[in-house]
Amino acid sequence: MFLIVIGSILAAASVLIITYLVIRAAVRDGIDMSRLVDWKTAYTEAWMKHPGKLPTLQSLYETMAANQAVQDTDPQKRQALVERMVRLEARRKLDATHRDRLVKEIAVYALITLVAALLISLGIATL
């Protein structure tokens, strides 16, 4: 009986946490799509949280400015093209960072749910 109770508590807690994670991801996507937060601000905050994972904005600008497609562009349009390319790359990197974190978190809690199911079944088997 003890294993059933512990397994039920673990299952309930992990399901609630997974629900929270999915809602958090949906809210983050909604904020990103509505453009309430400037992309430079969001990227800078993510870079400060994970300095080794993301390149600096300056290095993104330098990389995009050195791109051959930018070099072949009209000089008056070059800065706008670099800005657009950096914005797209920064958003892509932010999305990848958020997605990777969400997948890892959900995988951990899914594993906890599996352990809870095993505890419940073991508790039922010993009745």
Residues 77 and 46: their CA atoms lie apart, in Å, by 29
- The per-residue pLDDT for range 31-50, each reduced to its tens digit, is 877 878 888 988 998 899 88
Quick one: how far is CA 55 from the chain centroid? 16
Q: Work out how many domains the chain is built from and give that number.
A: 1
- The per-residue pLDDT for range 54-107, each reduced to its tens digit, is 999 999 999 888 888 788 888 888 888 999 999 999 999 988 988 999 999 999
> Which pTM does this prediction carry?
0.75
- Residue 35: both structure tokens together: 């453009």
Q: Per-residue pLDDT for 114 more than 90?
A: yes
| Residue range(s) defining the domain that contains residue 46 | 2-125
